[in-house]
Amino acid sequence: MANVLMLSWEYPPVVVGGLGRHVHALATSLAQIGHKVTVVTRHAPGAPIDEMREGVRVVRAPEDPVSFPLATESLLAWTMAFNHTLTRAGLRAAESSAFDVIHAHDWLVTHTAVTLAEHLDLPLVATIHATEAGRHQGWLPGELNRSIHSVEWWLGHRAAKVLVCSAYMKWEVQRLFQVDGAKIEVVPNGVDRKAWRATAAAVRVARERFAGKGPLVGFAGRLVYEKGVQDLVDAVPKLKAEHPGLKVVIAGDGPYKEELQEAVRRRGVTSTVAFTGFLTERELPALLGATAATVVPSLYEPFGMVALEAASAGAPLAVASTGGLAEIVEAGVTGMTFPHSDPDALASAVGTLIAEPIKAKEMTRRAAAMITERYGWQGIASRVASAYADAIETGPDAASVPAVAFADGNALR
């Protein structure tokens, strides 16, 4: 059994997106099968600095007095400041525990991960959840994007083992970072189906709150361009014309929200589309379970965790056939698919689920069976533990990292 030092920039109660939920589920699942896990993460107001929680030791790094806002313009400055305090917290954790391996989640913890791996003489495992180039459809348009890419390059080459969530992401990491494919392992994300099943009463309340008597279409996620919500908005007039009483709920928040709201106003569908902001862990499963279709219209999606969560909640799926989503949803079997950036095709896929509820229910049943078979956290934790064992057997590696390469034009073509 391994003694793991895990690094993440988000961990409950700090949950910005899917990464925080992933790290929490992985850490607790590893603990359940006998591994010793310490998560070092950033502090949240009111949270303990050091606690045992669900079998996992959680060490939180309080923010230094120097103020760097967590915003696009100051992201690198914020990240450097965060890594200073994260490193100190990691060193404090190491004073009372002899770790076997370090596991870094994404580029934001790279400086701490490399520092601790070298200082403690430990092997480094890295999970690359997404890439900067991928988030920008293959492009690195500015200095900030190229800087983040270079940190991702460093992490990928410095790690003894690189974990990715889909075969698509393995291709992307190899292509972008020129990392040896032999050290990249595909380990999918998982989902706790029970945590996403709302009661029948809660689903009924959600339908009454959001839908009334018409069909309900839902989206849940961060409101950024690459999530493709603009294509759902563009599809609403057609869906509304074909399905009287239609309501669309967009749950989540992000920097693209105002543009999306303006797009809704321009299309004259403000009475049809509702923006809820973030919903609680109780509200979101009930909303998803109340939908006639939950849409995942991403332009870029390394995996597609929300598809698993929505299907676990009992929602029929309509997803873009891109990235990891294409590996999760089988068209016409576990959900409907459509090409990304195609509002008409999106409307057609969603329309099928609304118009054929018996077919939609059967696809939902198959999706639930698929999740149980392939995406349970216990099995995923065991696969990650095997990657730890390989890295520990290989031992610490401080080999030199090749200079970062920047492809001209679209780096993913």
Instruction: Render pLDDT for 93-130 as a digit per residue (tens, 0 to 9).
Output: 999 999 999 999 999 999 999 999 999 999 999 999 99
Q: Is the pLDDT of residue 402 over 90?
A: no
Mapped onto helix, strand or coil, the DSSP state of residue 49 is coil
CATH 3.40.50.2000 fits 3-190+378-394, yes or no: yes
- Given the candidates 3.30.365.10, 3.20.20.70, 3.40.50.2000, 3.40.50.300, the CATH classification of the domain at 194-374 is 3.40.50.2000
Is 411 a residue whose pLDDT tops 70?
no
In degrees and rounded to multiples of 5, residue 273 shows phi and psi of -105, 130
pLDDT computed for residue 404 by the predictor: 84
Q: For residue 3, is pLDDT > 70?
A: yes
Q: Reply yes or no on whether the pLDDT at 406 is more than 90.
A: no
3-class SS shares of the chain: helix, strand, coil, % to 5: 50, 15, 35
pLDDT at 56 over 70: yes
Mean pLDDT of the chain: 93
Closest C-alpha to 33, from 312, 370, 386: 386
User: Given this model, what pLDDT does residue 297 score?
Assistant: 98
Contacts of 105 by beta carbon, 8 Å cutoff, 6+ apart? 6, 7, 8, 9, 19, 22, 23, 126, 127, 129
Mean pLDDT across 363-368: 96
Q: What is the per-residue pLDDT for 399?
A: 62
pLDDT tens for 143-181 read 999 999 999 999 999 999 999 999 999 999 999 999 999
Q: What percent of the chain has pLDDT over 90?
A: 81
Q: Are strands 161-164 and 50-53 parallel, antiparallel or unpaired?
A: unpaired
207 has a pLDDT exceeding 70? yes
Structure tokens at 390: 């390989």
* CB neighbour list of residue 258: distance below 8 Å, 6 or more residues apart: none
Give the model's pLDDT for residue 17. 73
Query: What is d(CA 290, CA 316) in angstroms, rounded to the nearest whole number?
Result: 10
Average pLDDT on 308-325 reads: 95
* pLDDT of 225: 93
Query: Which ranges in the chain are annotated with CATH 3.40.50.2000?
Result: 3-190+378-394, 194-374
Model-level pTM? 0.84
